[in-house]
Amino acid sequence: MIETILSDRVVQSAPSTTVGIADKVKRLREAGHEVYDFSAGRAFEHTPRYVIDAATKAMEAGDTHQTMGQGTLDYRKACARKLARENGIDADPESEIVATMGCKQGLVISLLTLLNPGDEVIVEDPCFVSYKQTIDYLGGNYVAVPLLESNDFRWKGKQLESVITDKTRAVILCTPQNPTGVVHTKEDLEEIAKVAIKHNLTVITDEPYERMTWDARRHVNLATLPGMAERTITLMSLTKSFSMGGWRIGFAHASPRKIEQMTKLQQHLITCASSFVQAGAITAFGEPPKDEVLDYWKQWEEKVAHFTTSLDKIEGLKCYTPEGGFYGWMDISKLGISSEQFCERLLEEKQVALIPGSSFGKQGENYVRVTCVKSWDEINAGLKGIREFVKDL
Ligand code: GLU
């Protein structure tokens, strides 16, 4: 028998909990089991009709060929219109935008552009489950800086600056934050900007939830702060806001020098983002969101508030209502059970799927993440299951 030699880095890495648990739910459903799924961040609603129509029309008109590696100019112009209209960012579509297959793929080319082997990247702890793994795959080292509950899940004082070394190249910042739901204020961002400027760092802002801020909160883009346009890579996508997760489409905005390198990477790694997907996405980014999309967001705000406040009322649980995005971050420390055991047993015993907080980082150990934007029936069934499970523990 031939012994295949594989990459240690890949073999030793853990699978993604978000995608992995959602895959497990799919397998269970295929086998005929009823499962209530609040695992990966996927909303109940489908992509709005007008976006599907635009993509279909493009496909039927022959837009089935590869585009420029950077993405079509029309798509990049639509992204630039969105940035000007909603974010106060003045972007040149020729040189400052590249089409990506969602924020995750945007992160890969951002890190590839910035890192030499052994360079350090600072991440929030807890943070999205794939950051650390991606940095590791690319030969970088991650440095996790705690987001403490006692600091409202924000970096305070010298926390960020104290971990900087001569190897630090970048910071990854997610706002609205996954999993805590924090929407970084202008003051939070000013503190981070100060450190980035002082130590010559690039900040990659992962912003797939930026159109979803609740209770009249406003999303602020780090790139709009003085001195930050040059040192920010802004990642956006339609995965969450337009329920377009399966389309895999987004973009990165950065300085021309960085976009030139990122485009080179797209040419080699994926050739380009899908052609008709870009055509559909033009309507979603290029024009203000239509009523049906605004209605999604309104419903999501209601669901997020209802689900998290109902969970918070369960004896033994404390659940934070997110300031933005669609995750409840639930403190289970009073239950005397690990977040992994909690999620495994809840799925086994009550068929309710959540994500263990430990997969988001050390600070996540006493928490679990709940995706709140499912159908009302699923939400109610999930609440019932969690209530009964906690009562019987
Ligand atoms: N980003 C989403 C989440 O946090 C979707 C799953 C994934 O792509 O990892 O659940």
The domain spans of the chain are: 8-47+291-392, 65-286
- Token digits for 96? 């400052």
205 lines ligand 1 (CB under 6 A): no
Average pLDDT score over the chain? 97
Ligand 1 pocket, mutate which of 38, 128, 209, 241 (most atoms under 8 A from CB): 128
The alpha carbon of 40 and the centre of ligand 1 are apart by a number of angstroms equal to: 5
Separation of 158 CA from ligand 1 center, angstroms?
Answer: 30
Pairing status of strand 202-206 against strand 250-253 = unpaired
Residue 97 has pLDDT above 90, yes or no: yes
Q: Phi then psi for 157, rounded to 5 degrees? A: 55, -130
Angle at alpha carbon of residue 40, lines to 374 and 340, rounded to 5°: 115
Query: Which residue's CA is the closest to the ligand 1 atom numbered 8?
Result: 19
Q: Is the CB of 335 under 6 A from ligand 1?
A: no
Q: How far is the CA of 165 from the centre of ligand 1 (A)?
A: 30
Mean pLDDT for 119-138 is: 98
pLDDT digits (tens, 9 = 90+) for 151-182: 999 999 899 999 999 999 999 999 999 999 99
Which residue, judged by its Cα, is nearest atom 4 of ligand 1?
Answer: 41
Residue 148 CB less than 6 A away from ligand 1: no
> Which of the four pLDDT bands, split at 50, 70 and 90, describes residue 2?
confident
- What is the CA(239)–ligand 1 centre distance, in A? 9
Cα-to-centroid distance, 41 and ligand 1 (Å):
5
Residue 123 has a pLDDT of 98
| C-beta of 197 in contact with ligand 1 (< 6 A) | no
Q: Is 359 in the pocket of ligand 1 (CB under 6 A)?
A: no
Distance 177 CA to ligand 1 centre (A): 12
Q: Does position 270 have pLDDT exceeding 90, yes or no?
A: yes
**Architecture of 65-286 per CATH?**
3-Layer(aba) Sandwich (3.40)
- Fold classified for 8-47+291-392: Aspartate Aminotransferase, domain 1 (3.90.1150)
Asked whether the predicted pLDDT for residue 293 surpasses 90, the reply is yes
pLDDT-derived band at 213, boundaries 50, 70, 90: very high
Whether the Cβ atoms of residue 216 and residue 251 lie closer than 8 Å to each other: no
Cα–Cα distance list, 179 to 54, 85, 143, 277 (Å) = 33, 27, 18, 28
Q: What is the pTM of this model?
A: 0.97
Tens of pLDDT, residue by residue over 47-76, are: 999 999 999 999 999 999 999 999 999 999
- Helix 73-82, helix 275-286: angle, nearest 10: 30
Beta-carbon contacts of 3 under 8 Å, excluding residues fewer than 6 positions away, are none
Query: In angstroms, what is the span from residue 61 Cα to ligand 1's centroid?
Result: 33
**CB 210, CB 176: distance < 8 Å:** yes
